[in-house]
Amino acid sequence: MKHQASTSQDRPGSVLERGNSRIRPEPTHPRSNRDITATLITDLPFGPRAAEVAREAIAVALHGEAATELLDDARLVGSELATNAFTSGTPPLVLCVDHQRPSAGRLEVEITVTDGGCSLPVTPPPPEPPDEAESGRGLVIVEALADSWSLTTSVHGSRAWCRLSRSVGKH
């Protein structure tokens, strides 16, 4: 089954992008073939298990590539993006994990979760949710761990994307 989510200027929607405290252009896709180490694309269940399946898929995609810290960060961020897509979007949910080694000792991981659309406008995450809040920390966590990220919402499809770049030891 092939899924695609996109946005354009003539569709109603919202875009929120962050990257090292500056607004970023769209991610640099597609990358050249020599830069891509691997890509994993999988459907996620539209339900509470979306986060768990996303964590497992990210672990499979990064098996043997990522240091524990990067793997933990990637799994957490992917889990948060999947949860947001399930709670705010519509089916289908699709996860894409790209990873590459742009230079010796570095690993970049890009995680994208798309869904079938959202009618709610995107709003910046609060600086810090109240201590008693049971939700609302997803994008705060993404912002804290990702080097750059973006969230595009539309009634025709929503897309959450982030990049994590870390130093890693040689294998």
User: Which CATH number goes with the domain that contains 141?
Assistant: 3.30.565.10
pLDDT at 118: 80
pLDDT reported for residue 33: 43
pLDDT score recorded for residue 103: 77
Q: In which residue ranges of the chain is pLDDT below 50?
A: 1-34, 171
Number of folded domains in the chain? 1
Is 5 contained in some domain?
no
The answer to whether position 95 is within a domain reads: yes
Determine the pLDDT at residue 81. Answer: 95
Alpha-carbon torsion angle 123, 128, 131, 136, nearest 10 = 30
pLDDT at 8: 32
Q: What is the DSSP letter of 6?
A: -
**In a domain? residue 151:** yes
State which residues form the domain around 140.
Answer: 13-24+34-125+136-167
Residue 86 CA to residue 81 CA, distance in Å, equals 9
Q: Which residues pair with 110 in a beta bridge?
A: 98, 163
**pLDDT at residue 106, rounded to an integer:** 84
Measured between alpha carbons, how far is 111 from 73 in angstroms, rounded to an integer? Answer: 11
pLDDT of residue 121: 64
Sign of CA dihedral 33, 34, 35, 40: positive
Q: Give dist(CA 97, CA 114) in Å, integer.
A: 12
pTM of the model: 0.72
